[in-house]
Structure formats: structure tokens, C-alpha cells
A and B are shown apart, each in its own frame.
Chain A
Amino acid sequence: MTSCEYQRQLSAYYDGELPDEQAAELQRHLRQCESCRRELRRLEAISAVLVSAALGRPSREAVERWRGAFRPARARAILRLARAVTAAAAAILLVCSVALWQRWSRPPESFRQAAAWEKLAASPPSGQVAAAILAGDDSAEADESPDVQLAQSILGSLGGAEGSGND
């Protein structure tokens, strides 16, 4: 290996980051190469200058400000959590409300049947129709619903004594 190639390894060797085998080989080379030894001394000098610069020292006020960051940060985190929980609860409430509204706005089948009863009670079939039904006349006009037919037959038997159909 030429000196130039070894010099490229010097940076990692100086940092103690070369694999053991390569480091051992470079150590042997250093015993014979003044150029690489000089280069290694330059790396040490660069380190010394950079470390001695020790740039900057924080002010006491800055350190106190950093320490004081805890409470506002915790408060913000709690607020974010509260907002997320509130939003989730509102979404669940909205979904449930829509589902309940849809259920309540559509009457069930039994209600529709009760409405049919109410209609019949409000406007019972004529006595002739009821009589025809009671007589088993299939040509009589009648609602196909068994419940309505039953209602008609009952109303017919009840209203037949009065003798006239209602509107």
C-alpha cells in the first residue's frame, strides 16, 4: 500500500475507529513513514485547537429559561390530549345521534298496521262490502291485508245494524 493510501486512513486511525487489523498494519507503517507521522501530528494539533476554542457558554438566564420550559410544555401536551379526547367523543356522539334519528323518523311495521286500523275506524267500509265479505263473496272489494280484512269483517258486523256506510 502506498503512503497516500495510508494517509487516508490516518483520520479514522486517529479517532480509534479503524478495525483492529487495519490499525495494526497502519501502526507498523507509521514506524517507517515520517510523512504519515507528521500528518498524524497535524491531526492532533487540529484537535487541540478546536477543543481549546470551547466555543460559547450559556447565560444564567438562558439556563433558567430552559429549566422553565417544563410546565408550559406539559400543559400543552395535556391540552392536546384533551382536545383529541373531546373530538373523539363529539364524533361518537354525532354518529349515535344520526343513527337514533334515522331510527325514530321511520315508524315500525306494527305502527303502520295500527295506522291501517285507525283508517278503518275513521272510514269503515260500507255495510254492503262488509256483508259481502262476511258472506264469503270473493268479488267484494277488500284490502288484501289479512288484518284489514279482519277489521272490515268486524266493523261490518258492528256497523251493519246501522244500515249505512260512512264516508
Chain B
Amino acid sequence: MSLATDALYDGGSDGDAELVRRIRRGDEVAFCGLVDRHGRRLYTLAYALLGNSADAEDVVQETFIGALAGLGGFRGQASLKTWLTRILVNRVSKLRRYRKVRRAMAIEDMDDMPGGGGSAGAAQADRADIRMDVAAVLRRLPAHQRTVIILREMQQMSYEEISTVLGVPRGTVESRLFRARRRLKSLLKDYLP
């Protein structure tokens, strides 16, 4: 998928449409608005895919830079959210090809989470445990299953949006999700009824 990206924008969100128009005219404030609107979500996705905060921050940075470069060709059929997600997923794939991704969260990443430093209460510690477990479980999924389950469960994207992001048929998205959930049933059995 090139970033050249035949990114498509449907203009469905008036806020995003206005942001795109202003950014194209060189409005830096509008770009900051784009970062504020989508940065956290993109970071969460990158972190789930990569399991590393530093890599996640770098990938999100590259995503916004790529978006700036490709905004001129942003024609408009899919949402800005889908377009940005597609750029980020491409960046993650590229990073994976050149770097070895850690399979388990590094001990220093615990500082990213509430309670990770050992100074929080029991609830936060439980949440930290869940995050570690989930991150470790996701690492055990094949990359293509991990990506679809994260896009569906954590990003709340529709099958059509996921299909657009990954450039695969809708049926492929459906079957990958089915297989990912089947695998997660056994990996997360301690959390299931």
C-alpha cells in the first residue's frame, strides 16, 4: 500500500473535512487539531500492534508526517480516521520488516501504565496485570490476526473500514477475526466465563 496512499476521504465528518481544507492551505493550527483529534487513538493502535511505547510514538510521528505529504492526493471516499489508520498500519508493517518486535513487554514499559511503578492501589495494579496479559496474548497471535482483532475491538472499525485499511477483501477480514477469536478463547481462558 503506498502512502501515496490512495487515501480517500468521504467528507462525512464536517470537522475532519474542515481540518483537511485548512491544513491544505497551510494552517498549522488545523494540523494541531488533527493531532489532538486522532493522536491518542493512533497511539493506542500502534502500541497494541508493537507493544513498545517508543516505537508507537515514532510510528505515530511518521504517520502524521506521511499524512501531511499525502494530503494533497486525499480524494475522499473513506473517512479521515480510516485513511490515517491505513497509513499507520503500513508504517507498522514497514517497521516490522526491519526490526525485531519484542514478544513481551519490557519491564520499563510498566512505567507507562498506572500502577506500573508499584505506587498505585490494587485496582490500578489489577489493570496493569490485565494489560500485561493482554499484550502478551496479542503477541502470540499471528500478525495478520492481531491486526484485525485490534482494529475491530480496540478501534471499533467496521469490516468495511478494516478491509480498506488492510487492502484485503471483506471476507478475509471476517475469517481472520473468526480465527483470532477462536485462538483468543484459549489464550484468555482465565478471563472468560
Contact = CB atoms under 8 A, between A and B. Distances in A.
Interface of A: 8, 11-12, 15, 17, 41-43, 45-47, 49-59, 62-63, 65-67, 69-71, 73-74, 77
B110 to A, nearest CB: 12
B191 A54 contact: no
21 contacts: A11-B174, A11-B178, A11-B181, A15-B177, A45-B193, A46-B184, A46-B192, A49-B188, A50-B153, A53-B131, A55-B135, A56-B43, A56-B53, A58-B40, A58-B57, A58-B60, A59-B53, A65-B61, A66-B39, A66-B61, A77-B68
B159 interface: yes
Contacts of B184: 46
Contacts of B36: 63, 67
Contacts of A53: 130-131, 134-135
Interface of B: 26, 28, 31-32, 35-36, 39-40, 43-44, 46-48, 53, 56-57, 60-61, 64-65, 68-69, 112, 127, 130-131, 134-135, 149-150, 152-154, 158-159, 174, 177-178, 181, 184-185, 188, 191-193
B141 to A, nearest CB: 11
A50 B135 CA distance: 9
Contacts of A55: 44, 47-48, 131, 134-135, 154
A112 B48 CA distance: 82
B65 to A, nearest CB: 5
B61 A56 contact: no
Given A56-B48, A73-B65, A46 B154 contact: no
B153 A69 contact: no
Contacts of B127: 52
A62 B43 contact: yes
10 residue pairs, one from A and one from B, having the closest CB atoms? A56-B47, A53-B134, A62-B57, A58-B43, A50-B153, A73-B68, A11-B178, A70-B31, A45-B192, A67-B32
Contacts of A73: 65, 68-69
Given A17-B174, A57-B112, A67 B47 contact: no
Contacts of B130: 49, 52-53
Nearest to B28: A70
B189 to A, nearest CB: 9
Given A55-B44, A56-B44, A66 B60 contact: yes
Contacts of A52: 127, 130
Given A41-B193, A46-B153, A59-B53, 15 more contacts: A11-B181, A42-B192, A46-B188, A50-B134, A50-B153, A51-B153, A55-B134, A56-B44, A56-B46, A58-B60, A63-B39, A67-B32, A67-B36, A69-B68, A77-B69
A77 B40 CA distance: 26
